[in-house]
Amino acid sequence: MERHSSTRTEAEMIAAILAGDTQLYHELIHPHERRVYLMALSLMKNEADAEDIAQEAFLKAFRNLSTFRAESKFGTWLISITLNEARGRLRRQTIVRMESLDDPPDGGGVVSPALLRDWREIPSELVERQEIRQMLQEAVISLPTIYRQVFQLRDVEDLNVKETAEVLGISVPSVKVRLHRARMMLQKQLSPLLKSVNPSPKRRWLPWL
Amino acid sequence: MVIECKHVWGYISDYLDAALPEDIRLDVQKHLEHCEICSAILDSTRNIIILTADERVFKLPGGFSERLHARIDLELEGSGGG
């Protein structure tokens, strides 16, 4: 099906869809597909479930489009629906985890980074290598849920701190604390691995300070 | 004010987001100018953020979009608007 591009704003498209031009929904959601899928993947951790949740979220958003309030962004609203769908599915699957999805603790100690003296930038071309992509994916997916969600929204999907707090129903300081820990956990885990695939001429590592 | 490495580690995320109060940002920056360890931690963290945000890292599964829009078409037909 040909989906012509339009200069219409999201608000105008939503109004048109609600007025009966429902085919416009295809166009409305197109820019949000990746974000919704990744958010679902961050909770479901497998591609098939994530795709299913993403589809459900888009259908639910369509059915409830009349309840969308323009004061929030359509993309943020979609993420909230996706999170609710994913959480509901996890509850139904009665997956019991060590960590709670709803009432996560923000306590815990400081995450110490990996210590290195010299760091050579990893060129983005390296991402073309399958094993590098996999290394990055696995590191993000292996983060505890409360950190993974914040990292995904802030650093992968580029929501700002306030939007992230709104979507997750947590405070702005909590977003910052969790984001910091997520980033430090990834630095600790990935720096040694990435350094080994991109060795610098001098390899000076400190065992610990 | 002179700050230690461990304090700087606690500020790295906000430093990268330019979210530190100006006095702390200056202290951190001063520290980074002479501490190669903290500089390497900052650079590696920044680099990892850039790499994980690369669209090639987390891709949509093949055919995702087609399957999604086919399902939406079914919904639209059902809702009488298709």
In contact, B45 and A31? CB cutoff 8 Å: no
B79 vs A: CB within 8 A: yes
A51 pLDDT higher than 90: yes
Chain B residues in contact with A24 (beta carbon < 8 A): none
A156/B71 Cβ within 8 A: no
Residue of A41, A133, A190 with shortest CB distance to B56:
A133
A183/B57 Cβ within 8 A: no
More confident of the two residues B79 and A102? B79
User: Average pLDDT in the A128-155 region?
Assistant: 92
More confident of the two residues A7 and B73? B73
Per the DSSP assignment, residues forming a β-bridge with A205 are: A116
A149-153 LR contacts (CB < 8 Å, sep 24+): A149/A39, A149/A42, A149/A43, A149/A83, A150/A175, A150/A178, A150/A179, A150/A182, A151/A178, A151/A179, A151/A182, A151/A183, A151/A186, A151/B52, A152/A38, A152/A39, A152/A42, A153/A39, A153/A79
User: Average pLDDT in the A79-96 region?
Assistant: 85
**Residue A202: predicted pLDDT:** 52
Residue of A110, A128, A176 with shortest CB distance to B56:
A128
User: Average pLDDT in the B38-67 region?
Assistant: 93
Q: Is this complex's ipTM strictly greater than 0.85?
A: yes
A151 pLDDT higher than 60: yes
Cα separation, A14 vs A102, in Å, equals 31
Query: Of A88, A193, A183, whose CA–CA distance to B12 is shortest?
Result: A183
Cα separation, A36 vs A33, in Å, equals 5
Buried b (16+ CB within 10 A) or exposed e, A7-32: eeebeebbebbeeeebbbbbbbbeeb
Query: Of A34, A178, A204, A189, whose CA–CA distance to A119 is shortest?
Result: A204
Phi, psi values for residue A177, rounded to 5°: -65, -45
A203 vs B: CB within 8 A: no
User: Average pLDDT in the A158-175 region?
Assistant: 93
B56/A34 Cβ within 8 A: no
A128/B13 Cβ within 8 A: no
DSSP secondary structure letter of residue A123: P
**Level-2 CATH architecture, domain A124-197:** Orthogonal Bundle (1.10)
B80 pLDDT higher than 80: no
**Residue A153: predicted pLDDT:** 92
* Banded pLDDT at A136 (limits 50, 70, 90): very high
A96 pLDDT higher than 60: no
A125 pLDDT higher than 50: yes
Domain boundaries along the sequence of chain A? 10-92, 124-197
A127/B51 Cβ within 8 A: yes
Chain A residues in contact with B81 (beta carbon < 8 A): 20-23
In contact, A55 and A40? CB cutoff 8 Å: no
A166 pLDDT higher than 70: yes
Tell me what the pLDDT averaged over chain A comes to: 85
Cα separation, B82 vs B68, in Å, equals 15
A137 pLDDT higher than 60: yes
Given this structure, which CATH class describes domain A10-92?
Answer: mainly alpha
What beta strand segments (E) does A54-120 contain?
none
- H helices then E strands: how many in chain A? 9, 0
Among residues 70-129 of chain A, which lie with CB inside 8 Å of chain B? Answer: 110, 112-119, 121-122, 124, 126-128
A44 pLDDT higher than 70: yes
Residue of A nearest to B61 (CA): A47
A103 pLDDT higher than 70: no
* Banded pLDDT at A102 (limits 50, 70, 90): very low
B70 vs A: CB within 8 A: no
**Residue A1: predicted pLDDT:** 43
User: Average pLDDT in the A162-189 region?
Assistant: 95
Residue of B nearest to A185 (CA): B45
SS3 string, chain B, reads CCCCHHHHHHHHHHHHCCCCCHHHHHHHHHHHHHCHHHHHHHHHHHHHHHHHHCCCCCCCCCCHHHHHHHHHHHHHHHHCCC
**Residue A45: predicted pLDDT:** 78
A46 pLDDT higher than 90: no
